[in-house]
Chain A
Amino acid sequence: MMHMPDDDKFHGLLAGYVAPAEEDGFSDIMMAEIDAQSVQASAAKHALLRRLALYAAAFIGGIIAALQLPKLLGLFQGAQTSLPELPVSELSLAELSFNPALMMVAGMTGFILWAALDSRASELF
């Protein structure tokens, strides 16, 4: 501390000059502003988390869908090769739709498309 003997004299001299301004509601205004900002920050944080969750879900869904693509292609190839052998009337589309892998891929694709395109989806996550 560089306290000089005459510091007290100058401290007294400046007492009026540095005297605190009166409280005229400044603190209340500041507290209200800080509250408002913290609410905004919280909302922005939640929105960011929702968006991240959505993108992560879409990414994971995309990977799962991509992993199922070979099976889907194989299924179609199998269906195509079997087409000539089967009469058109006997080709059961219902059979295809009950294939678990195909259902999963279709479901995931639908979900990803819905999540990506529908703005209301972000409100749910």
Chain B
Amino acid sequence: MRDTQGEIRTFLVRLTKDAALADDLAQISYMKAYQKLENLREPKAARAWIYKIAYRSFVDEARKTKRRREMSQTMVPDSMTLDRETQPSGGIAVDVARAMNALPPDCRAVVMLALGQGFTHQEVSEMTALPLGTVKSHVVRGKQKLQAFLSAYEQAI
């Protein structure tokens, strides 16, 4: 848990845009993981497994509170929603955060898992329960978005 808690909390902060809610979901995720520990067949897959539980916890929470649509469509300034520890320090980091926040949560999760954490598309598909084709299209969409922001940033400097 000590190895993964930081990245899981960041993952959930990026999805929820709410540090307190993200910590609550992280706690729920680790409690679920503890309760279902016997289901973990391969210890090597623990990291992917905890990401899967965390993502499901986020989806359950979003569904339960009917905030998923709001989360995906509302652009909230980062300074109002992100912790100091997770807030980009400036420059390109801000642009990356803006680009990512412009993506819907499921697309953002896919991009973080596939491009940020290096999971395969198949692994991401299993984690998020999204079809492989959807995962691939989310990755392409995320790349396009990041590329656009990156180009704008490069032109600006």
A residues with a Cβ closer than 8 A to B are 1-2, 6-7, 10-11, 13-24, 26-27, 29-31, 33-34, 37
Contacts and interface: CB of A to CB of B under 8 A. Distances in A.
B6 A22 contact: yes
Contact of B120 (A1, A10, A16, A33): A1
A22 B150 CA distance: 27
Interface of B: 1-2, 5-7, 9-11, 13-14, 23, 26-27, 30-31, 34, 83, 85-86, 88-89, 92-93, 96-97, 100, 111-112, 115-118, 120-122, 136, 139, 142-143, 146, 150
Given A13-B146, A18-B116, A23 B85 contact: no
A17 B115 CA distance: 11
B7 A7 contact: no
Contacts of B10: 18-21
Given A11-B118, A13-B146, 18 more contacts: A2-B120, A7-B115, A10-B143, A13-B96, A14-B112, A14-B115, A17-B97, A17-B112, A18-B112, A21-B13, A21-B83, A21-B85, A22-B85, A24-B85, A26-B23, A30-B31, A31-B1, A33-B27
Contacts of A2: 120-122, 136, 139
Given A10-B143, A13-B146, A34-B31, A18 B9 contact: no
A27 B146 contact: no
A99 B6 CA distance: 74
Contacts, number: 88
B74 to A, nearest CB: 19
A22 B6 CA distance: 6
Q: Which among A2, A21, A22 has the greatest number of chain B C-beta atoms within 10 A? A: A21
A26 B9 contact: yes
Nearest to B9: A21
A6 B27 contact: no
Contacts of B143: 6, 10
B32 to A, nearest CB: 11
Contact of A34 (B26, B30, B86, B89): B30
Contacts of A1: 120
